[in-house]
Chain A
Amino acid sequence: MRAAWRWLLGAAGLVCVGMVRAEPDWVSQIGYPGALQTPSAFAEPEGTFAFGISSALPYNTLYVSLQPFSWLNFGARYTDITDRRYASSTTGQSYKDKAFDLSLRLVEGGGAFPAVAAGIIDIGGTGLFASEYLVASQRIFDVYATLGLGWGRLGSAGDFRNPLIGVSDSFRTRRRIASGLENTGRLAYKAWFRGEDTALFGSLVWNPGFLSDWSFIVEVEGNDYSHEPAKRPVSAPSRVNYGVAYVFGPDAKVGLSYLRGDTIAFSLGISPTAGTNQIDAAARAPLPELASLRHPAYRPVLSDELARNLEQIYRSLQYRGFAVHAIDWDEASRTVTVWQTSFTSKDPLYIQQFVSRIVAGNMGVDVRSVKVATVAAGVEAVRVETPYPLVEADARGEVGEDEYAYLAIAEPGQGWAMDRASFPDLLDYPTWTAGINPAYRANIGGPQGFILGQVLLRPYFSLQLVRSLSFTTSIAVNVYSELDQVSPVRSGSLPPVRSDLELYQSQSGDVYLEQMSADFIFPIAQEWYGRLSAGIFEEMYGGVAGEILYRPFSSRFAVSLNGNYVKKRAYDQRFDFLDYEVATGFLTFYYATPWQGVTVNLSAGRYLAKDLGGTLEVAREFRNGARFGVFATKTNVSAKEFGEGSFDKGFFFSIPLEVGPRKLNNNSFSTTYRFLSRDGGARASDGRSLYPIFGSYSASAIDNAR
């Protein structure tokens, strides 16, 4: 009953996010690009994040699908096999299978040429639903036709002998990964496109122009359901499926279908375009007019006293959502420099336009140049300079934004220059913020229940003692919890540095201390930044840490070195610690490739279980801040020592939430999913990392923020 409610709540949540769109949705009932149960070469637009549920008994599916590129789709899903028991379950729950899919568009198509794609379903692990396919899709007026050839489960109908056997006899045998926990999580590449049988599948999706929110689908499966992981045989009187889908929002779809000649199925999903390279300039606060261009009757009366005019600049900027740290007036070069932190935008050029108009309009003397420095975490991160004629030409609308960007001069932050300003320390410290956030923490896929969760209230208090030193405290207060049922699932022989997370979830009590730490962030030199941190960093570890970041302004790379000495916290998550303590450290290389927003982070060092190794993280970054990525960590422990999963790996996504016209909302929805949480390759959070703060303040910020 509880499970039913969860599905229903999930469905209601998905319905709530819908609005209006008029084009077919290419997320199948399983999550990979396709019609109902069959794949297609059409896929969702680049940047799409899809999430949904479907039920086609004996299977229920919960999927997440990411489209980092127009030519690549990556999906993860849980399949609930309703008639099969989860052997380790203590509550009699049904079997849940975890699977990952990959689809590559090989030919984009267009005009008379169809799009062609290849895909692998259930890449590794148990391989219960393992299939591979090659598929072509073509649009003919309002009809989208797809024809493909399937291997594995998708080809079980055996229409044809595997044509690849003609190439090599090794394609005859479909070899699965050997059983055993140490083999789980490995790629089953020896089974790909292999086996005696292949079968055709295809679909027709009619998306009529006069009913553009509706799609009518008919498809033929290559699967005859003769080799299913369900406990009881799955009847399939027909290979033909029929379905109808209704897109009721820009991002939501509900579908009803009749499968295999005897099964009614439904699906519900959302697929918003979370990552985009189009920045909505209209969402920004409009730029102020330049006071000196107003009609003389409406111009502000400027004082002869420089200090009074600078004070007016300070007040005007503060009123418009800027924290002004310092102002400098250089008489010789007649240059005003303003150090500020904007709460409305992170775009250095927009900030430059905004601030320089305020500055130029409030100076009673002849200003030749305006420099605006952006301060992040109390440290100058970037500065942009514009001569006054350009400010005026911009205010008159005589230069476009790209012309402005071309003519403005961007430089890296100048270290401690802010302290040498003629009017330093304009902000009063200490400052503080406090509030209460709702939170939810979950345990997914455990033997005690598929999803067990806890609803929390999270009061926080953040104190900025001086410009560079901050204290953050966060407490969690239980509202409703199912996590008292969870217990650790141990595998491997490493110290339990992460695998006893369940003990922290079950023994933390109704109130526990989540974080209490201090960060001191400071410039070392131009393009060099430093950090010292101490305290309780996260729910499992506390200690001391330090980091140095080198971020060359006009480069695609950055390097950081961080080290920490952390101690494992007691399970009640108060102030006590357990006996386990360890020094970890990493040298990390960050690289923004010139290729379609792909970033690569490579780090090497010592991990929590005292294992040595490296982590590779590859992500697609969009200009609006969305990130889709995968990571893998390999250390000097064997697959057997590591336990189930062989090595640490997973995927993550981060989706920025709406940016309002008057307020910069830095919130984003971020999730990191590990295929299995184990002890090898585990890291502790050790304070506020420097690269997320300063990494974006490079020359690329001039391009990417617009």
Chain B
Amino acid sequence: MKRRSMIATLGVVTAGALLWGAVFPCAAQGFAARAQQESAGEAGLGAIQIWGAVASPGSIALSIERYLGFSAALASAGGLAQSAYLLGAVLLREQRVVAAVAASGKDCLGADVLQTLAVIEDIAVDSSLRIAIRKRLIEGSLRRVPLPKDFARWRGQKDIPIELIDGDILLVPRTLGFVYVQHGQGVVARVEYRPGGLAEDYTRSIGIGGRVFSGDDLIVFPDGRAQALRLNFWSYEPTPVPPGSLLIVDAQDRHCLAAPGRAGE
């Protein structure tokens, strides 16, 4: 009898859990992720972190395979929020060889890193984590992994060919309302995003005008790709300025600002 009631209780709990999982799949996944994290933590398999516009931001433990497919990782974090801005998603990975980068110091950060530092204040992450990420980006122990150019087109598709490994941090911003402008090595200014606005509209709005021919002006798109601004003498590339872009006017260390080009994958 006791055994029967135990079985019945177990059945009710299981059915309840199944029902709970069906009704609140994110929560179920979150629990599953946490459970997985706990077991993984016990096993020492590592974890990834997903922050920002997902249903359940936080750490996700890795399975025995020691990596997680991108879609699975997002599912573990409860899926993307409606307002997620995939073009601005930032994947950060630990950089083992730190010394060479750190030696070059703060003045020689890549364009994609500068863009990450500019937007990180506006990506909803915990302030202590934000400070830690900022510090690690500057010292070079974290690097930004370029996502495929058409990554942002794959919203809702399941075959995103990106794998997350131990220590990865994925930041998914909500649609950003600003464009960031840096003049030389000065402070980054936030300018309200204006649909259809061109780079010169933003630079002019903060008093940088009258520029003629310069190869030292860059736009760093929200996905970390960079392109010379339209202030080229002969060539013309369209330069739409999506929200979250960083405009660098009079770039001081052009050799340091190497980042994947707009056309590159």
Binding site for B on A (CB under 8 A): 277, 279, 281, 387, 389-390, 393, 398-403, 405-407, 410, 554-557, 592-595, 698-700, 702-703, 706
Bound-state CA distance A594–B209 (Å) is 12
Minimum-distance CB pairs A-B, first 9 = A405-B240, A702-B238, A706-B196, A402-B242, A402-B240, A403-B242, A389-B153, A390-B153, A594-B231
A555 contact set on B, CB distance < 8 A: 234-236
Contact with A along B193-208 (1 / 0, CB 8 A): 0011110010000000
Closest-CB distance, A108 to chain B (whole angstroms): 9
- Contact of B212 with A by CB under 8 A: yes
- Whether the Cβ atoms of A279 and B196 lie closer than 8 Å is yes
Between A398, A554, A557, the greatest number of chain B beta carbons within 10 A of the residue's beta carbon is seen for: A398
Closest-CB distance, B80 to chain A (whole angstroms): 10
Closest-CB distance, A74 to chain B (whole angstroms): 19
Binding site for A on B (CB under 8 A): 87, 149-150, 152-157, 175, 195-198, 201, 211-213, 221, 230-243, 262
Bound-state CA distance A402–B241 (Å) is 6
- Whether the Cβ atoms of B153 and A698 lie closer than 8 Å is no
Between B150, B232, B235, B240, the greatest number of chain A beta carbons within 10 A of the residue's beta carbon is seen for: B240
Closest-CB distance, A483 to chain B (whole angstroms): 45
- Whether the Cβ atoms of B242 and A556 lie closer than 8 Å is no
Closest to B212 in A: A595
- Whether the Cβ atoms of B195 and A400 lie closer than 8 Å is yes
Given known A-B contacts A400-B195, A402-B196, A406-B221, A393 and B153 have beta carbons under 8 A apart: yes
- Whether the Cβ atoms of B155 and A410 lie closer than 8 Å is no
Closest-CB distance, B205 to chain A (whole angstroms): 12
Bound-state CA distance A592–B153 (Å) is 33
- Whether the Cβ atoms of A703 and B239 lie closer than 8 Å is yes
- Whether the Cβ atoms of B233 and A406 lie closer than 8 Å is no
Bound-state CA distance A149–B243 (Å) is 48
Between A557, A593, A594, the greatest number of chain B beta carbons within 10 A of the residue's beta carbon is seen for: A594
Closest to B87 in A: A403
B241 contact set on A, CB distance < 8 A: 402
- Whether the Cβ atoms of A405 and B238 lie closer than 8 Å is yes
B201 contact set on A, CB distance < 8 A: 277
Closest to A705 in B: B196
- Whether the Cβ atoms of B152 and A556 lie closer than 8 Å is no
Closest to A108 in B: B209
- Whether the Cβ atoms of A702 and B157 lie closer than 8 Å is no
Given known A-B contacts A389-B156, A390-B153, A403-B152, A556 and B234 have beta carbons under 8 A apart: yes
Bound-state CA distance A593–B197 (Å) is 19
Closest to B154 in A: A389
Bound-state CA distance A401–B241 (Å) is 9
Between B153, B154, B195, the greatest number of chain A beta carbons within 10 A of the residue's beta carbon is seen for: B153
| Cross-interface CB contact of A387 among B153, B213, B231, cutoff 8 Å | B153
Closest to B199 in A: A703
Bound-state CA distance A556–B201 (Å) is 19
Bound-state CA distance A144–B236 (Å) is 42
Closest-CB distance, B81 to chain A (whole angstroms): 11
- Whether the Cβ atoms of A700 and B236 lie closer than 8 Å is yes
Closest-CB distance, A111 to chain B (whole angstroms): 12
Bound-state CA distance A593–B230 (Å) is 10
B233 contact set on A, CB distance < 8 A: 556, 594
Bound-state CA distance A403–B222 (Å) is 9
9 A-B residue pairs with Cβ-Cβ distance under 8 Å, sorted by A, are: A389-B153, A389-B154, A390-B153, A399-B152, A400-B175, A400-B195, A402-B242, A556-B234, A706-B240
| Cross-interface CB contact of A393 among B155, B230, B239, cutoff 8 Å | B155
Closest to B179 in A: A402
> Known contacts A389-B154, A706-B195; can you find 13 more A-B pairs with CB under 8 A?
A281-B195, A400-B243, A401-B195, A401-B196, A402-B240, A402-B242, A403-B87, A405-B242, A556-B232, A594-B232, A594-B233, A703-B230, A703-B239
Bound-state CA distance A96–B198 (Å) is 46
Bound-state CA distance A699–B234 (Å) is 12
| Cross-interface CB contact of B212 among A390, A403, A594, cutoff 8 Å | A594
Closest-CB distance, B233 to chain A (whole angstroms): 7
Closest-CB distance, A46 to chain B (whole angstroms): 11
Closest to B217 in A: A594
A281 contact set on B, CB distance < 8 A: 195-196
Closest-CB distance, B30 to chain A (whole angstroms): 24
| Cross-interface CB contact of B236 among A398, A399, A402, A699, cutoff 8 Å | A699
Closest-CB distance, B68 to chain A (whole angstroms): 22
Chain A: interface secondary structure?
mixed
A279 contact set on B, CB distance < 8 A: 196
B212 contact set on A, CB distance < 8 A: 593-595
- Whether the Cβ atoms of A554 and B237 lie closer than 8 Å is yes
- Whether the Cβ atoms of B235 and A402 lie closer than 8 Å is no
Given known A-B contacts A400-B195, A594-B213, A407 and B235 have beta carbons under 8 A apart: no
A402 contact set on B, CB distance < 8 A: 195-197, 240-243
B198 contact set on A, CB distance < 8 A: 703
Bound-state CA distance A556–B235 (Å) is 6
Closest-CB distance, A20 to chain B (whole angstroms): 26
Bound-state CA distance A556–B237 (Å) is 9
Closest to A553 in B: B236
B213 contact set on A, CB distance < 8 A: 594-595
Closest to B80 in A: A398
| Cross-interface CB contact of B242 among A406, A593, A698, cutoff 8 Å | A406
B232 contact set on A, CB distance < 8 A: 556, 594
Given known A-B contacts A402-B240, A594-B212, A389 and B231 have beta carbons under 8 A apart: no
Closest to B157 in A: A389
Closest-CB distance, A386 to chain B (whole angstroms): 8
Bound-state CA distance A700–B234 (Å) is 12
Bound-state CA distance A595–B230 (Å) is 10
- Whether the Cβ atoms of B235 and A700 lie closer than 8 Å is no
Closest to B223 in A: A406
Given known A-B contacts A389-B155, A390-B153, A400-B175, A699 and B237 have beta carbons under 8 A apart: yes
B238 contact set on A, CB distance < 8 A: 405, 410, 699-700, 702-703
Bound-state CA distance A281–B197 (Å) is 12
Closest to B88 in A: A403
Closest to B151 in A: A407
Closest-CB distance, A5 to chain B (whole angstroms): 47
B262 contact set on A, CB distance < 8 A: 406
Closest to A592 in B: B236
- Whether the Cβ atoms of A703 and B240 lie closer than 8 Å is yes
Closest to A597 in B: B200
Closest-CB distance, B218 to chain A (whole angstroms): 14
Closest-CB distance, A47 to chain B (whole angstroms): 15
Closest to B219 in A: A406
Given known A-B contacts A400-B243, A556-B234, A407 and B153 have beta carbons under 8 A apart: yes
Bound-state CA distance A393–B80 (Å) is 14
Closest-CB distance, B122 to chain A (whole angstroms): 16
A556 contact set on B, CB distance < 8 A: 232-236
Closest to A591 in B: B234
B235 contact set on A, CB distance < 8 A: 554-556
B149 contact set on A, CB distance < 8 A: 407
Closest-CB distance, A140 to chain B (whole angstroms): 23
Bound-state CA distance A364–B235 (Å) is 41
- Whether the Cβ atoms of B150 and A387 lie closer than 8 Å is yes
- Whether the Cβ atoms of B152 and A407 lie closer than 8 Å is yes
Bound-state CA distance A703–B234 (Å) is 16
Closest-CB distance, B36 to chain A (whole angstroms): 30
A702 contact set on B, CB distance < 8 A: 238, 240
Between B149, B152, B156, B262, the greatest number of chain A beta carbons within 10 A of the residue's beta carbon is seen for: B152
Closest-CB distance, A113 to chain B (whole angstroms): 14
| Cross-interface CB contact of A398 among B155, B221, B234, cutoff 8 Å | B155
Bound-state CA distance A277–B198 (Å) is 10
- Whether the Cβ atoms of B230 and A400 lie closer than 8 Å is no
Bound-state CA distance A279–B213 (Å) is 26
Closest to B214 in A: A594
| Cross-interface CB contact of B87 among A406, A554, A706, cutoff 8 Å | A406
Bound-state CA distance A406–B150 (Å) is 10
Bound-state CA distance A555–B233 (Å) is 9
B150 contact set on A, CB distance < 8 A: 387, 407
A406 contact set on B, CB distance < 8 A: 87, 221, 240, 242, 262
